[in-house]
């Protein structure tokens, strides 16, 4: 009798947990729509394409002279990209691969990937996917040397403020977009990954989008779906293999020959001795600062934060304890993070104190998410980093104020390599 009495409550608790999880998934989808509707009307991203028509097209850089083209079709289609330097004239074609994934009752469309190249730098290419001539796209490769202009946004989402941010970005003269986590805010509701792909396609198909994950990409549900990052890894394949990383959740790449960008994972093991830590240590040791004077790092949860939102969270506190020394010794120039829905800049800090050889920490988690801003004083927006030469770069944060891209903060940054007292160890 005692045994039976113990089993029944355990059974009820397990089922109660499942009900709560399912309710949370439904509420996440519902609240996301409500937030979007209450916080300005978002762009219509209804799927109006044919079953084999390419959609959700986005590109990412692979090595110095290649590009990964990713897209989705609802039904099976040819994983093929045709491309050339003139509209409608394609002198090269490449066959790639396609995959699908399951998440609870959801089955994705067919996710296609093709890596094309070698490509010429600073060049416009026109391309079509799945041998479908009804939709032609184009992209511009990055320049071979400085100057280069990055757009940086975090916590993007799918609201009217997202629309405003994307509109402002479309007017910028930039070469690459960097995103330190929290992309779609699908939050378990997989169709929102599809609507996000359609929403960002006009920009993500024209310039490489280099992203890393945030907490909203985890999407792990105890018992029901035990694998984290299923949707993120399936849809946003980054060039981790080329940087010797064992995981799509952290990687690095070079751009414009003089900038090294490192993408880290706040929500995968970062402890000393972990695969990520060992990879980061090796990656930093490979950098020749005489050839690559600029080093930037992106991850999601900020190490320094004056806002009450997300203050002293495990990922922030413990990742800093594990990795800050590595980044300081390597003289990383600037760190971009998201998670806190506000803009904030800490000028050169290490171990909680001002330090002329420490990195600049910039929180840019104000892309347009459905959860709102961290404070009443904050504003949605985006940032631009123009690396002018080996020693100087200009950072500007643009507010989405009154539907205009207003410059809210601007500062000149000097590379630590060029600082006589801060030569990398």
Enumerate the active-site residues: 310
Spatial CA neighbour of 182 closest among 158, 165, 160, 149: 158
Spatial contact of 96 and 143, defined as CB atoms under 8 Å apart: no
The answer to whether 84 and 93 are in contact (CB under 8 A) is no
Task: State how far the Cα of 275 lies from the Cα of 271, in Å rounded to an integer.
Answer: 9
Q: Give the Å distances, CA to CA, from 154 to 149, 160, 180, 300, 336.
A: 17, 15, 5, 8, 9
Annotate 215-272 with DSSP letters as a single string.
GGG---BTTTB--TTHHHHHH---STGGGT-S-TTSEEEEETTTEEEEE--TTS--ST
Q: Which residues pair with 386 in a beta bridge?
A: 149, 394
- Coil, helix or strand for 108? coil
Can you state the percent helix, strand and coil of the chain, rounding each to 5? 25, 30, 45
Q: Is 104 helix (H, G, I), strand (E, B) or coil?
A: coil
Cα 269 off chain centre by: 18
Residues paired with residue 353 on neighbouring β-strands, in sequence order: 350
Compute the distance between CA of residue 367 and CA of residue 297 in angstroms, rounded to an integer: 19
Cβ atoms of 363 and 338 within 8 Å: the answer is yes
Q: How far apart are the first and last CA of the chain?
A: 68
Type and span of the H or E element at 74? none
Distance from chain centroid for Cα 295: 17
């Amino acid at each position: 009798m005692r045994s039976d009495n113990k089993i029944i409550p355990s059974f009820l608790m397990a089922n109660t947990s499942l009900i709560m999880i399912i309710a949370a998934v439904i509420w996440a989808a519902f609240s996301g729509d409500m937030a979007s509707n209450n916080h300005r009307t978002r762009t219509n991203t209804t799927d109006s394409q044919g079953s084999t028509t390419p959609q959700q097209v986005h590109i990412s850089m692979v090595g110095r002279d290649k590009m990964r083209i990713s897209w989705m079709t609802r039904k099976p289609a040819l994983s093929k990209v045709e491309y050339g330097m003139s509209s409608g004239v394609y002198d090269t074609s490449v066959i790639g691969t396609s995959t699908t994934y399951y998440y609870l009752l959801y089955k994705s469309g067919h996710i296609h990937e093709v890596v094309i190249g070698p490509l010429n730098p600073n060049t416009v290419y026109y391309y079509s996917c799945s041998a479908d001539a009804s939709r032609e796209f184009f992209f511009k490769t990055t320049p071979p040397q400085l100057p280069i202009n990055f757009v940086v946004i975090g916590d993007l989402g799918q609201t009217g403020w997202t629309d405003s941010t994307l509109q402002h970005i479309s007017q910028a003269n930039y070469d690459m977009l960097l995103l330190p986590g929290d992309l779609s805010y699908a939050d378990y509701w997989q169709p929102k990954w599809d609507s996000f792909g359609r929403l960002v396609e006009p920009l993500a198909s024209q310039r490489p989008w280099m992203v890393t994950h945030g907490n909203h990409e985890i999407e792990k549900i105890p018992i029901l779906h035990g694998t984290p990052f299923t949707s993120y890894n399936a849809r946003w394949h980054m060039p981790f293999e080329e940087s010797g990383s064992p995981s799509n959740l952290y990687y690095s790449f070079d751009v414009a020959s003089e900038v090294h960008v490192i993408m880290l994972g706040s929500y995968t093991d970062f402890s000393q001795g972990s695969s990520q830590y060992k990879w980061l240590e090796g990656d930093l040791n490979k950098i020749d600062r005489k050839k690559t004077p600029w080093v930037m790092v992106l991850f999601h949860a900020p190490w320094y934060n004056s806002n009450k939102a997300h203050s002293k969270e495990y990922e922030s506190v413990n990742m800093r304890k594990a990795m800050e020394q590595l980044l300081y010794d390597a003289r990383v120039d600037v760190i971009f993070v998201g998670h806190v829905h506000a803009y904030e800049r800490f000028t050169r800090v290490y171990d909680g104190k001002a330090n002329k050889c420490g990195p600049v920490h910039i929180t840019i988690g104000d892309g347009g998410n459905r959860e709102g801003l961290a404070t009443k004083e904050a504003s949605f927006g985006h940032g631009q980093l123009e690396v002018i030469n080996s020693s100087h770069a200009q950072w500007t944060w643009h507010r989405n104020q009154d539907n205009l891209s207003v410059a809210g903060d601007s500062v000149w940054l000097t590379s630590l390599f060029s600082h006589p007292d801060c030569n990398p160890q």
